[in-house]
Structure 1
Amino acid sequence: MSFQEKIIEGKYNYYQGDQVYCEETFSVFKEDGSHGRIIFNAELTSRVETGEFLKVLVDYKLSKKFEPLNLKVKRLLGGSKSVERYVVDLKDKNVRYTFRGTDGIHETEKIITGKFHIAAPAFSTTMLATAAKKLDPVHRTSYNIISSSNVWEYEGPFKESEIFIELSSLEPVPIFVGDTELQATHCKVFEDDKARNPNTKGYSIYLSKHYQIPYKAVFADDIQIEVQNLKNFETEYKDLF
């Protein structure tokens, strides 16, 4: 039986304007042994228009090379519940997907040969693809993303899409979170390649140097996500906040 060591924990606030509409707490664990899997656990909580609380629980397991192995997403709202799960066999490249919602259980699977990342509804996991496939320092780097639109009812199997990420600066840039100044890697995320659409507007994400965990992101419609605290329990890092 492998031992899991907590290496990071933190919290995000999701803002629209000055209003916090969602909070995310997360922890990162590393297993010992030769496999040494990385595990992200996150919990998101927000209040919906009815006054009820929506809770989303994310359990994401990756190989030591940051290849997706297993993703489980559980959603809870009042008496409603749904669970979706991806299980990846790295040997035969098979991705098995299961969704359990208000309309029963649905299963599908597909073989995907290239590198891919599975999108999860947790900001802490947003940029894990860049840990498995390094960013090109000059050009936009393409990433194959697997995602689904299933929330409470099954709408269909998971889909593949492509995003592009570009380094805005080769050197770390200073950002402020509250009164704390941090050094971050500034990236921009696009839905199109620069060659196809050079004028497309991306959104900014500022990355920490700790397992590609983001500090902050700025989206359209005055939406921002910002880290509130981040603790790294590894001995070489004791200067986080």
Structure 2
Amino acid sequence: MSFQEKIIEGKYNYYQGDQVYCEENFSVYKEDGSQGRLIFNAELTSRVETGEFLKVIVDYKLSKKFEPLNLKVKRLLGGNKSVERYVVDLKDKNVRYTFRGTDGIHETEKIITGKFHIAAPAFSTSMLATAAKKLDPVHRTSYNIISSNNVWEYEGPFKESEIFIELSSLEPVPVHVGDTELNATHCKIFEDDKAKNPNITGYSVYLSKHYQIPYKASFADDIQIEVQNLKNFEAEYKDLF
């Protein structure tokens, strides 16, 4: 039986304008032994228009090379509950997907060759693809992303899409989080290749050097996500802020 050691924990606030509409608490664990798998756990809580609380629980397991192995997403809202799960067999490249919602259980699977990342509704896991496939220092780097539109009811099997990430600076840049100044890798996310759409501005993301966990990001509709605290329990990084 493997032992899991907590190596990181933190919290994000999600803002629209000046208003906090969601909080995310997350932890990262590393398994002992030669496999050294990583486990990201996140819990997101937000209040919806009815006054009820939406809770999303994410459990994400990856290989030591940051290859997705298992992703489970549980959603809870009042009496509604849904669970979706991806299980990846790295040997035969098979991705098995299960969704359990208000309309029953649905299953599908597909063989996917090449590197891919499975999107999860947690900001702490949003940039893990850049750990499995390093960013090109000059050109936009393409990433194959797996995701689904299923929330409470089954709308269809998971889909593949492509995003592009570009380094905005080769050197770390200072970024302010509250009263703390940190060094971060500044990059931008695009839905198109530069050759197809050279003028699109993209979304800014500032990455930490701790397992590609982002510090902050800006998106459309005046939405921003910013880390509130981040603790790394590994000896060389103890107690960041």
1:34 CA drift (Å): 1.1
CA RMSD of aligned residues (A): 0.5
Paired with 2:196 and 2:19, the residues of 1 have a C-alpha distance of 37
DSSP-derived class of the 1:236 partner: helix
The alpha-carbon deviation at position 201 of structure 1 amounts to: 2.3
Q: CA deviation at 1:238?
A: 2.4
Query: Percent identity, aligned pairs only?
Result: 93
Shift of 1:199: 1.0
Match of 1:159 in 2: 159
Deviation at 1:89, TM superposition (A): 0.1
Deviations 1:85-131 (A, max 9, x none): 00000000000000000000000000001100000000000000000
Show CA shifts across 1:189-224 (max 9, x none): 000000111112200000000000000001111110
Alpha-carbon separation, structure 1, partners of 2:30 and 2:171: 28
Distance 1:105 1:222 in 2: 37
- Corresponding pairs, count: 241
Structure 1 range deviating more: 173-182 or 56-65 = 173-182
> Counterpart of 1:124 in 2: which secondary structure?
helix
Distance between the aligned counterparts of 1:128 and 1:178, measured in 2? 24
- The one-character-per-residue Cα deviations of 1:139-195 (angstroms, maximum 9, x if unpaired) are 000000000000000000000000000000000111111111011000000000001
Q: Distance in 2 between matches of 1:34 and 1:94?
A: 23
- For residues 239 and 44 of structure 1, what CA distance do their matches in structure 2 show? 23
Q: Distance in 1 between matches of 2:239 and 2:101?
A: 43
SS in 2 for 1:8: strand
Distance across 2 between alignment mates of 1:182 and 1:64: 26
Residue 222 of structure 1 corresponds to which residue in structure 2? 222
Structure 2 segments unaligned to the other structure (5+ residues): none
**Is the 2:233–2:239 Cα contact (8 Å) retained in structure 1?**
no
Q: TM-score, normalised by structure 2?
A: 0.99
Higher mean alpha-carbon deviation, 128-137 vs 193-202, is at 193-202
SS of equivalent residue, structure 2 residue 50: coil
1:77-116 correspondence runs (5 A): 77-116=77-116
Give secondary structure in 2 for the equivalent of 1:9.
Answer: strand
Aligned-pair distance for 1:74?
Answer: 0.0
The answer as to whether partners of 2:13 and 2:226 remain within 8 angstroms in 1 is yes
User: 1:29 & 1:189 partners in 2: Cα distance?
Assistant: 27
Three-state SS of the structure 2 residue aligned to 1:40 is strand
2:209 matched to which residue of 1? Answer: 209
- TM-score, with normalisation over the residues of structure 1? 0.99
Compute the displacement of 1:239 (Å): 5.1
User: In structure 1, how many angstroms separate the alpha carbons of the residues matched to 2:201 and 2:73?
Assistant: 30
Does structure 1 conserve the Cα–Cα contact (< 8 Å) formed by 2:23 and 2:46? Answer: yes
- Corresponding position of 2:149: 149
Gaps of 5+ in 1: none
CA distance in 1, matches of 2:230, 2:98: 33
